[in-house]
Amino acid sequence: MHELYHLRYITEARNAGLNELFTAGPKNKEAFLDAHAKDRARMIKSGISEEATEGFLLGVFNGMNLQVYNAPIDLFIEYDMNRDHPEMRPYQLLSLEGLINESIQATTDKRIVDVAPTDILSKSKVYSMTLAMLYQELYGVDRLSEFEPSVLEHQQVQRLYAEFKEYRDDREPAEEYEVVRHWAEDLKLTPYFALVKEEEHWAKTGVPLEEQLDRIQADPLDQHTRDPEREREMKTFQEGQAAIGTNMAVVMFMVDALKYFKAQSKEKVMQTAVEIAMLGTQGIYPENQGYKLAHVPGKTFSGYHLLAYYYISFKLVLPEMVPDLQLPYDAEYAMAEQLFTAAS
């Protein structure tokens, strides 16, 4: 239902000719890496390889932008859903509780605090605490202190949440994008992304929206689209995996996937494969955490864990398409299959 509300908001904005696209290209990445050159130097000095450091910082960049876009809009969605569908409140209570638990761990765990850029960690905490504010308002449970916020962070959360409350009860189509932009300005994150008018974007690219939608329908898994930037990222990923050699973490995640899918119908495995493939069109980053699948309820995946499920699901139901995934995990699969067979 939460995701359907995203679609509803986009449709409302599009019908009003006001929809915006959230973009983050090479210049935004470059601005982020330049701003965190000291963090890069610190990590390399501590013994972390340049490649791993680069991958980690890009993961932080992508994760931060996910929050920049989603955190304000998610507040509107959860608020509207709570108001419009009281029968969903027990599920919402459990969902928000789980999300807040993950956010507290991600922003206070000493291992993360020691490595992550301090400013980004602080801003991520602020975004997460706005959801905790809504949780407190809707269900009367105060989790804010568990984030261990500074005085400044607490003030920022109060200010952002007050703006959300100003908009929420009479929100017009696309006004949620104003809040995305205002919050990012407040937290000085605007160099790392751009919000562009959808109609203007397609006018500049010369690709009408109808044609773009036709392309998505014809190639829903985005297998045949040439994207030089994404191809460079894939090449870097594959070279990194080759340097690692056999990735034992992926092997064990594959064993877990084989055990899980053994109890599932072929149709269910197919549904999971397609869901992961759709996520894959936006990029699955090995170093990221917190991925979730509608077809694998109750489980939270790291990037590597999700890639293992990606590979195994296709291997089981669409083996002829496994090479198209470009995942260099054939050796890991062979080892995982042996371990799984031995344990069965």
Q: In this predicted model, what pLDDT tens digit does every residue of 89-132 receive, in sequence order?
A: 999 999 999 999 999 998 999 888 888 899 999 999 999 999 99
Does residue 210 sit in the same domain as residue 263?
no
What token pair was written down for 19?
A: 């929809």
pLDDT beyond 50 at 241: no
Round to whole Å and give the CA distance between 257 and 312. Answer: 7
pTM: 0.63
The pLDDT tens digits of the residues spanning 163-196 come to: 999 999 999 999 999 999 999 999 999 999 999 9
Q: What share of the chain has pLDDT > 70, as a percent? A: 87
- Planar angle of CA 251, 252, 255, nearest 5 degrees: 90
| One-letter amino acid for residue 83 of the chain | R
What token pair was written down for 292?
A: 């979730």
pLDDT beyond 50 at 198: yes
Instruction: Show Cβ contacts of residue 147 under 8 Å, excluding neighbours closer than 6 positions.
Output: 103, 104, 107, 108, 125, 128, 129, 132, 153
DSSP 190: G
Give me the mean pLDDT over the 270-286 stretch. Answer: 84
Full domain range(s) for residue 49? 2-218
pLDDT beyond 70 at 219: no
The domain boundary, picked from 154, 183, 218, lies at: 218
Give me the mean pLDDT over the 146-167 stretch. Answer: 96
* Model pLDDT, residue 69: 94
What token pair was written down for 334?
A: 């062979």
* Model pLDDT, residue 233: 52
**Which among 248, 314, 242 has a CA at the least distance from the CA of 277?**
314
Q: What is the mean pLDDT of the chain?
A: 86
Q: How confident is the model at residue 230 (pLDDT cuts 50, 70, 90)?
A: low
Q: What share of the chain has pLDDT > 90, as a percent? A: 54
Give me the mean pLDDT over the 52-79 stretch. Answer: 91
Q: How confident is the model at residue 204 (pLDDT cuts 50, 70, 90)?
A: low
Does residue 159 sit in the same domain as residue 265?
no
Give me the mean pLDDT over the 328-341 stretch. Answer: 87
The domain boundary, picked from 155, 190, 218, lies at: 218
pLDDT beyond 70 at 250: yes
* Model pLDDT, residue 37: 92
For residue 253, is it within any domain? yes
The domain boundary, picked from 174, 190, 218, lies at: 218
| One-letter amino acid for residue 158 of the chain | Q
For residue 223, is it within any domain? no
* Model pLDDT, residue 152: 96
Round to whole Å and give the CA distance between 75 and 127. Answer: 10
Round to whole Å and give the CA distance between 122 and 125. Answer: 5
Round to whole Å and give the CA distance between 191 and 188. Answer: 8
Does residue 248 sit in the same domain as residue 208?
no
* Model pLDDT, residue 237: 47
Does residue 257 sit in the same domain as residue 185?
no
Q: Is 35 exposed, middle or buried (0-12, 13-18, 19+ CB in 10 A)?
A: middle
* Model pLDDT, residue 47: 87
Does residue 210 sit in the same domain as residue 250?
no
Which element (helix H / strand E) includes 224? none
Does residue 316 sit in the same domain as residue 290?
yes
Does residue 151 sit in the same domain as residue 238?
no
Round to whole Å and give the CA distance between 204 and 12. Answer: 23
Q: How confident is the model at residue 215 (pLDDT cuts 50, 70, 90)?
A: low
* Model pLDDT, residue 228: 53
Number of separate domains in the chain: 2
pLDDT beyond 70 at 249: yes
Give me the mean pLDDT over the 293-303 stretch. Answer: 88
The pLDDT tens digits of the residues spanning 300-322 come to: 888 889 999 999 999 999 999 88
Give me the mean pLDDT over the 44-55 stretch. Answer: 85
Buried b (16+ CB within 10 A) or exposed e, 169-200: eebebbbbbbbbbebbeebebeebbebebbee
